[in-house]
């Protein structure tokens, strides 16, 4: 039987929350029926009961019109995800890597490094994904007003997942004697994001000891800012500021999470989830 799947979402079961939010947005923006989407960790989009898992997945990964791969530190340790991405890469069909919230671009290596990836925690890139996918599927993109509520909810969910990812990475590198205040993070003002652990310490240092001004070749004064951090992110700590502020940290934390796993999990199999994930 020929596959009727239009969008196959390759992912780790640990990224199921991001996958579920993405499905809701795709259905609202592209009027996709549930039967056109395969996402094996989300109810309503799983494989049919009694299906031959490996045979059905192999067929749908190859025959789906578009494959979206949610890339995170956990998904790249899942053998199912690696096989799905590799099989799709060999077909030369539409394949879009999507960086999960809090995942640095530095995580992309091998063939993935040569494919333009989009971020799920950047709304403008999500908009691009919707537009690109509409072209691949031959479906019209609904007017913005139709899916704006879902897009807003999606962005809020991705922001929450980004904070969780940052906090998890920081907790993995925190010393045992960290203070209670450091462990909780610091709420800088109502409506602003919580700056967790090491980011709070670094932010506080920048606020108390501003970077010195120096003159550029044109004679204008400007601040000497570290890579990934501009002056705006020192004067306002709203959602966009935290995104800019955390860029350098995420690059380090993401690389560290892959190259130096937690000691307690370093002896585990590379399969981070049961084989029944798919």
| CA-CA-CA-CA torsion sign (91, 96, 99, 101) | negative
**Nearest 10 degrees: Cα torsion 23, 80, 110, 247:** 50
User: Do 242 and 177 belong to one domain?
Assistant: yes
User: Do 140 and 244 belong to one domain?
Assistant: no
Q: How far apart are CA 117 and CA 112, in angstroms?
A: 8
**pTM (global) more than 0.85:** no
- Residue 170, pLDDT score: 75
pLDDT, averaged per 10 consecutive residues of the chain (278 residues), comes to: 82 97 98 97 96 96 97 95 96 96 92 95 97 97 97 97 84 56 40 44 49 49 43 41 52 49 41 42
- Residue 199, pLDDT score: 52
- Residue 153, pLDDT score: 97
- Residue 247, pLDDT score: 54
User: Do 29 and 60 belong to one domain?
Assistant: yes
Q: Give the C-alpha distances (Å, rounded to integers) separating 62 from 89, 90, 94, 95, 97.
A: 9, 9, 10, 11, 16
> φ, ψ for residue 73 (rounded to 5)?
-65, -30
- Residue 181, pLDDT score: 42
Is 239 contained in some domain?
Answer: yes
User: Do 13 and 142 belong to one domain?
Assistant: yes
User: Do 18 and 139 belong to one domain?
Assistant: yes
Q: How far apart are CA 78 and CA 270, in angstroms?
A: 7
- Residue 172, pLDDT score: 67
- Residue 192, pLDDT score: 36
Domain count, the chain: 2
User: Do 18 and 145 belong to one domain?
Assistant: yes
User: Do 105 and 14 belong to one domain?
Assistant: yes
Residue 121's CATH number: 3.40.50.450
User: Do 243 and 191 belong to one domain?
Assistant: yes
First and final CA of the chain: distance in angstroms?
19
Is 68 contained in some domain?
Answer: yes
In terms of residue numbers, what domain contains 178? Answer: 165-262
User: Do 185 and 65 belong to one domain?
Assistant: no
User: Do 97 and 178 belong to one domain?
Assistant: no
């Amino acid at each position: 039987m020929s596959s009727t799947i239009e969008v196959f979402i390759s992912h780790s079961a640990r990224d199921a929350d991001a996958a579920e939010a993405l499905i809701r947005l795709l259905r609202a923006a592209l009027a996709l029926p549930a039967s056109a989407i395969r996402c094996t960790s989300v109810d309503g989009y799983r494989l049919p009961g009694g299906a031959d898992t490996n045979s059905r997945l192999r067929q749908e990964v190859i025959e789906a019109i578009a494959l979206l791969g949610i890339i995170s530190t956990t998904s790249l340790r899942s053998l199912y995800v690696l096989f799905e991405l590799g099989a799709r890469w060999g077909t030369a069909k539409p394949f879009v890597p999507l960086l999960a919230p809090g995942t640095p671009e530095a995580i992309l290596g091998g063939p993935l490094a040569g494919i333009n990836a989009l971020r799920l925690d950047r709304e403008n890139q999500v908009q691009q994904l919707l537009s690109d996918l509409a072209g691949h599927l031959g479906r019209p993109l609904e007017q913005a007003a139709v899916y704006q509520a879902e897009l807003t909810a999606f962005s809020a969910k991705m922001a929450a997942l980004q904070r969780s990812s940052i906090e998890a990475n920081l907790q993995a590198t925190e010393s045992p004697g960290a203070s209670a205040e450091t462990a909780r993070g610091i709420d800088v003002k109502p409506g602003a994001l919580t700056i967790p652990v090491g980011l709070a310490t670094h932010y506080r240092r920048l606020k108390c000891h501003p970077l010195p001004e120096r003159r550029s070749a044109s004679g204008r004064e400007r601040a000497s800012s570290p890579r990934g951090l501009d002056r705006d992110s020192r004067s306002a700590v709203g959602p966009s500021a935290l995104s800019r502020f955390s860029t350098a940290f995420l690059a380090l934390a993401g690389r560290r999470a892959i190259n130096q796993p937690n000691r307690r999990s370093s002896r585990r199999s590379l399969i981070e989830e049961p084989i029944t994930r798919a």
